């Protein structure tokens, strides 16, 4: 009887090792890192994103159901820079998964190596939601996508060194694709360099810099503070003075205040995608920029 039980246990353990060893289970905080992980990891990975593409990544509810995914994850990819500070640490603690805790090999901070913008010299909450490490919306520059991919590739190689060649080959293809796409995207935006726009929230600085936009002001008077009547009056004046054609906003902000400005000035409100999955047609990281640039250029014409 004892032999039977021990045999059964051993068979279960070995089978478990076999079945779970084949696919690398990755949990990412956002859809953008999910998309890049799927490109680099190919058929070796199964990826789950906690945030959806149409949700504000600052304000994700730490549902216990995410803990189930995290508890068995082989790799965790975070955007870092305190973007997910309101929800990610409590989920990681509750996951009981030592492999993916901060500092462990299977914890990937995708921001490592990114040249950060708007790094404050001091933190004062009177200025609104200021991020201590700099503006965290860095994935909206496709050149930073290559750095994100490098970090994810490093993480995958740590947890699955036998597939190093496979991941490196996929990374090379990704980098080449981004380079090729970048030339096309830059050409698409070339005639609109310096175009002035209004943005709802301060989340476009990397995109703005890469594609040569000029964000004159924000609907939010300070980051995270909802638009006030006096701010709207100021924006309306700026739109008229600068002949601004476009207000860019995100799927998770209500349109009421942008609509007021649009009605008063004739400027178009464009709901841009901030992440993969924001709209059904955006299925990959490449699609994100295809979509946004098509929308933006049509609005600026």
Question: Site residues (CB under 8 A) for another protein?
Answer: 3-4, 7-8, 10-11, 14-15, 17-18, 21-22, 52, 54-56, 59, 61-65, 67-68, 71-72, 85-87, 89-90, 93-94, 96, 98, 101-104, 111-116, 119-121, 123, 125, 132-134, 147, 150-151, 153-154, 157-158, 161-162, 164, 224-226, 251-252, 254
Taking the C-alpha atoms of residue 22 and residue 10, their distance in angstroms, rounded to an integer, is 19
Maximum Cα–Cα distance for the chain, whole Å?
87
DSSP state of 163: G
Q: 214: which strand partners?
A: 196
Structure tokens at 57: 């990544």
| Least distance between another protein and beta carbon 97 (Å) | 8
| Least distance between another protein and beta carbon 81 (Å) | 8
Quick one: 136 or 300, whose CB is closer to another protein? 136
Quick one: 129 or 241, whose CB is closer to another protein? 129
List alpha helices for 110-163, DSSP H: 142-159
| Least distance between another protein and beta carbon 42 (Å) | 16
**Ramachandran region, residue 103 (left: φ > 0; alpha: ψ -120 to 50; beta: rest):** left
| Least distance between another protein and beta carbon 191 (Å) | 31
Count of Cβ atoms closer than 10 Å to residue 228 Cβ: 14
Quick one: 42 or 224, whose CB is closer to another protein? 224
Quick one: 69 or 245, whose CB is closer to another protein? 69
Quick one: 194 or 229, whose CB is closer to another protein? 229
| Least distance between another protein and beta carbon 90 (Å) | 5
Taking the C-alpha atoms of residue 195 and residue 227, their distance in angstroms, rounded to an integer, is 23
For every residue of 228-254, DSSP letters joined together read: -HHHHHHHHHHHHHHT--EEEE-TTS-
């Amino acid at each position: 009887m004892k032999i039977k039980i021990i045999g059964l246990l051993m068979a279960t353990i070995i089978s478990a090792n076999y079945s779970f060893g084949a696919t690398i289970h990755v949990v990412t905080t956002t859809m953008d890192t999910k998309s890049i992980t799927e490109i680099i990891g190919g058929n070796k990975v199964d990826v789950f994103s906690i945030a959806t593409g149409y949700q504000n990544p600052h304000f994700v509810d730490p549902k216990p159901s995410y803990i189930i995914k995290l508890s068995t994850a082989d790799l965790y990819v975070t955007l870092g820079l305190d973007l997910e500070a309101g929800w990610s640490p409590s989920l990681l603690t509750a996951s009981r998964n030592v492999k993916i805790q901060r500092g462990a090999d299977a914890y990937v901070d995708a921001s490592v190596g990114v040249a950060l913008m708007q790094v404050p010299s001091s933190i004062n909450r009177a200025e609104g939601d200021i991020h201590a490490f700099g503006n965290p919306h860095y994935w909206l520059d496709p050149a930073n996508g290559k750095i994100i991919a490098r970090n994810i590739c490093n993480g995958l190689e740590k947890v699955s060194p036998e597939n190093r060649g496979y991941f490196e080959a996929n990374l090379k293809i990704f980098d080449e694709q981004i380079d090729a796409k970048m030339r096309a995207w830059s050409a698409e935006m070339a005639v609109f360099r310096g175009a002035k726009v209004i943005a709802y929230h301060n989340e476009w600085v990397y995109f703005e810099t890469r594609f040569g936009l000029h964000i004159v002001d924000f609907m939010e008077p300070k980051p995270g503070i909802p638009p006030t009547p006096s701010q709207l009056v100021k924006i309306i004046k700026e739109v008229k003075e600068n002949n601004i054609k476009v207000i860019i906003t995100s799927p998770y902000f209500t349109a009421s205040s942008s609509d007021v400005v649009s009605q008063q000035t004739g400027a178009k409100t464009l709901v841009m995608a901030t992440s993969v999955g924001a709209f059904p047609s955006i299925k990959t990281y490449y699609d994100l920029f295809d979509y946004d640039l098509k929308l933006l250029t049509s609005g600026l014409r």
